[in-house]
Amino acid sequence: MQEELQLKLLPITLGLRLYHRHEVHGLENIPASGPVIIACNHSLATYDISLLMSAVYQKLHRFPRALIDRAFYRIPGLGELMEKLGCIVGSQENAQSLLSNGEILYLAPGGMQESLRPSTDRYRVLWTKRKGFAKLAIDSGAPVILAACPKADDIFTVYENGVTDWIYRNFKMPFFLARGLGPTVMPKPVKLDHYLSRAFYPPKKNHDPVAYKRQVYNFHRKLVQEMNRMIDEGVIPSDQLPPYE
């Protein structure tokens, strides 16, 4: 059922890829099989991650599995629809289960908070306190591939306002003031490029609690530093970029 519905929606993502002239750099870094974590930055548009999933499917025929926020279930029917698309509520247990089955797992460590950033804070990730994906990699042994799509932050202009912050703090629900093309909500036709890192393999889990905490801290720091570097480079127009390795 999940694969059937994903295939039915494939023409939509292909159309969006054409609209945004979407390209993926480093697609060869994704393994053809076996568990792997794809850690993405989170824009307000969100669907840019689906464009990457579509490109990976076209290349490797690997159906995507993704972690989603519990907030999806507060909107009647939305959580169930996301499940039919292969998504699952974000938790260490659910993620471990998918990886143990050899799945390719997409997640956005910055979550809803990162997606609601105003445009004045674009081109950065809010991963400082989000160490769960680093723990997941160490616990499961699955490698992490970073997927940066900096220009996704330009699809919409997001305005800073106190209401967005208040609703997120108190209800963990999305509310935003934004516009797309001109005064409309139509997405701007910005060119989107995904940059994929090499696979980062986690250290073998140390069962001493203090040593394990240090492992998580160091691996997380390495991933965040690399993601920030990739985003900084990705802001440069793609025709001025050197070949990505």
pLDDT attached to residue 245:
33
The fraction of the chain above a pLDDT of 90, given in percent, is: 72
Say what the pLDDT of residue 3 is. 62
Q: Mind listing the pLDDT tens digit for each residue in 179-215?
A: 999 999 999 999 999 999 999 999 999 999 999 999 9
* Residue where the block lists tokens 């809010």: 126
| Range with the poorest average pLDDT among 13-17, 80-84, 208-212, 215-219 | 80-84
Predicted confidence at residue 69, as pLDDT, reads: 74
Q: Do 137 and 130 touch, CB atoms closer than 8 A?
A: no
139 pLDDT above the threshold of 90: yes
Contact between 196 and 115 (Cβ < 8 Å): no
**pLDDT digit string, tens, across residues 20-37:** 999 999 999 999 999 999
Q: Maximum Cα–Cα distance for the chain, whole Å?
A: 56
Domain assignments of the chain as residue spans, ordered by start: 2-153+191-233
User: Which one has a higher pLDDT value, 2 or 149?
Assistant: 149
More confidently predicted of 71 and 98: 98
Task: Output the pTM of the full model.
Answer: 0.90
Beta strands 157-159 and 144-148, pairing class? unpaired
Q: What is the pLDDT of residue 73?
A: 65
